[in-house]
Chains A and B, each alone.
Chain A
Amino acid sequence: MKKYFSSMSFCVGFVLVSFMLFVLVVSLFWLPYDTTAMDMSHKLSGPFGGHLLGTDQFGRDILSRLMKGVQVSFLIGLLVVAFGSIMGILIGSFAGYFGGKVDEVIMKLIDTQMAFPGVLLAMMLIAVFGNGLFNTVLALAIMSVPRFARITRSGYMKYREADFVKAERIRGAGSLRIMFVHILPNIKSEIVATASLAFAGAVMSEAGLSYLGMGVQPPDPSLGIMLSEAQDYILRAGWYVLIPCAAITILVMGFNLVGDGIQEINERR
């Protein structure tokens, strides 16, 4: 852990992620106001009044909604990374370890999936299964599988003929044991870096989908929904747009920097 702090990217990312984690932990125990309570007499009031970050078009407290939105983002990010990494690591390790025909078929499928650009694949799945939190997670997780599969595959290709693997094979260890007990721990840090980048990607895509009305459904607050609601009031209440934007940016940038920092240190080794 300590060695990673020699990377500037990692340090800055660590600070940003810690800040958002702090917001998350506080929000789990305490919110300044109810996130859906409306107060029509205080619509679009500015920051630093009775409400620290002001109120929205229905007089709802922006800080509370933001904190709840951060919860949603973390939840989606974590679930997407969990599902995506499990599927990706399984697929990637079989492709990388066995090589040959297995690898060819798997990589062809992965390449085909990469043909659906950006959030298109997620939107297609949402069009079929309908929107909502679980379907958004599923769609984004499937979208992140190629990332994990590729990085795992290249790690396995590097180690499958390594001396320690040959030694295990001679000792009679089975393929599955070699794959998951001996090789997988060696590519741990590459996977963690990918997970961090995938987390940032998931937060960004979720915000985009919610912005288009295809992710989390109102009245649940999500950073993307807040932004799409806020943009109509940009002239009267610029801060209202700025706040969800800043939250998304800090979250995405934090995880991107942490991921980049880990990659940087891995390459330096």
Chain B
Amino acid sequence: MGYYCRKIGGLLVTLLLVSLITFGVFQILPGNPAYIILGVDADPLQIEALEKSLGLDLPLYQRYWNWVVGLFQGDLGTSLRYQQPVSQLIADGLKVTGSLALVSIILTVAIGLPAGIWLAGHSEKKYAVGLSMISQLSLSIPAFCMGIFLINIFSVQLKWLPSMSYVSWSEDPLGSIRSLILPAFSMSLGSAAVLIRYVKVSVTNQKKQDYVRTAYSKGLTSRRVMYGHVVRNSLIPVITILGMTVADILGGSIITENIFSLPGIGRLISVSINSRDLPLIQGLVLYLAVIVVICNFVVDIVYSVVDPRIRLK
């Protein structure tokens, strides 16, 4: 129980720090935000009105408090560019980014897990070297290069999959998956390479354990030993990697959504930064950071349920 209390305490402190950083960074903005939004030669009355509506005439702690209270009421302010509530924009973007992340994670696991397990069984040097080169290559090709080439091959030349068009899940489920395959693939390649390595190392370590020798001497087939014992135990550390993958995929979506013109969170971020839409940037940054923190928290909890020894450390 103490373990969980500590974890929840840690989560709350991290969330507090994340909110302070997100709020603080945008307060050290050089110059008056109202001037930045309206331009230097704006009417003083307009500036004053905007300052009031942004709450800039209040002291700093008061503004932070209002902002946090707003957060709990689901009010993240109004986007200057879109003239819509930030929470509404995020909710719309999340549908796209969420499905993109889901497809990417499924692809990552579908590629990384079997490949890692297979490689652990084939430790000959030629496979090991080949793997490390291929995984290095897929880690080193930037996602946007990969995206451009995938669009060129599969959409332009072969015309198999659409590009630059997003079909929502409720309109056409199959079309939605088709429109997400290319972006998801370009993002999951790198994370699959990471997953393969971890699965391989983890399976190789487990195979050296005593219980594996016992299982063999009981007369189990190597298949049973592998899938009934080794793989199950090796997946424990892999949970951590999956948690980290969520963060990577959310970070990667910023660039990938721009290449594929997907109307998700990532695209909103680059639009909001280029148009200096501060309430929107602030809301988006906070939102992504909170998702990552909560994911890490869930991973810690799942980890401790799967492997109770962790709670004693």
Contact = CB atoms under 8 A, between A and B. Distances in A.
A128 B270 CA distance: 13
A245 B251 contact: no
Contacts of A231: 148, 259
B156 interface: yes
B32 interface: no
A256 B144 contact: no
**For chain A, what secondary structure do more than half of its interface residues adopt (helix, strand, loop), or is it mixed?**
helix
Contacts of A116: 285, 288-289, 292
A119 B29 CA distance: 19
Interface in B230-262: 247-248, 250-252, 254-255, 258-259
Interface stretch (B40-48, B55-63, B110-118, B133-141): B133-141
B71 interface: no
Given A117-B288, A245-B141, A211 B293 contact: no
Interface in A115-148: 115-120, 123-129
A204 B138 CA distance: 13
A127 B273 contact: yes
Most chain B CB atoms below 10 A, which of A111, A124, A125, A213: A124
Given A120-B254, A125-B25, A109 B17 contact: yes
A208 B142 contact: yes
A108 interface: yes
Interface in A213-247: 213-214, 227, 231, 234-235, 238, 241, 245
**For chain B, what secondary structure do more than half of its interface residues adopt (helix, strand, loop), or is it mixed?**
helix
A198 interface: no
A115 B273 contact: no
B145 interface: yes
Interface string B248-288: 10111011001100000000011001101000010001001
28 contacts: A8-B129, A108-B10, A108-B13, A113-B21, A115-B14, A115-B247, A115-B289, A115-B290, A116-B292, A119-B251, A119-B254, A120-B251, A120-B288, A123-B254, A124-B281, A127-B276, A127-B281, A128-B26, A207-B142, A211-B144, A212-B258, A214-B274, A227-B144, A235-B152, A235-B156, A245-B148, A249-B140, A257-B136
Give the interface residue-count category, chain B: 35 or more
B132 interface: yes
Contacts of A123: 254, 269-270, 273
Contact of B152 (A212, A213, A234, A256): A234
A253 interface: yes
Given A9-B136, A109-B17, A212-B255, A128 B28 contact: yes
B256 to A, nearest CB: 10
Given A8-B132, A212-B254, A253-B136, 8 more contacts: A123-B254, A214-B274, A227-B144, A234-B152, A234-B156, A245-B149, A248-B145, A256-B139
Contacts of A212: 254-255, 258, 270
Contacts of B252: 118
B50 interface: no
A61 interface: no
A56 interface: no
B18 interface: yes
B249 to A, nearest CB: 8
A97 to B, nearest CB: 22
A245 B292 contact: no
Nearest to A111: B14
A238 B251 contact: no
A252 interface: yes
A200 B247 contact: no
Contacts of B26: 128
A245 B259 CA distance: 14
Nearest to B282: A124
Contacts of B28: 128
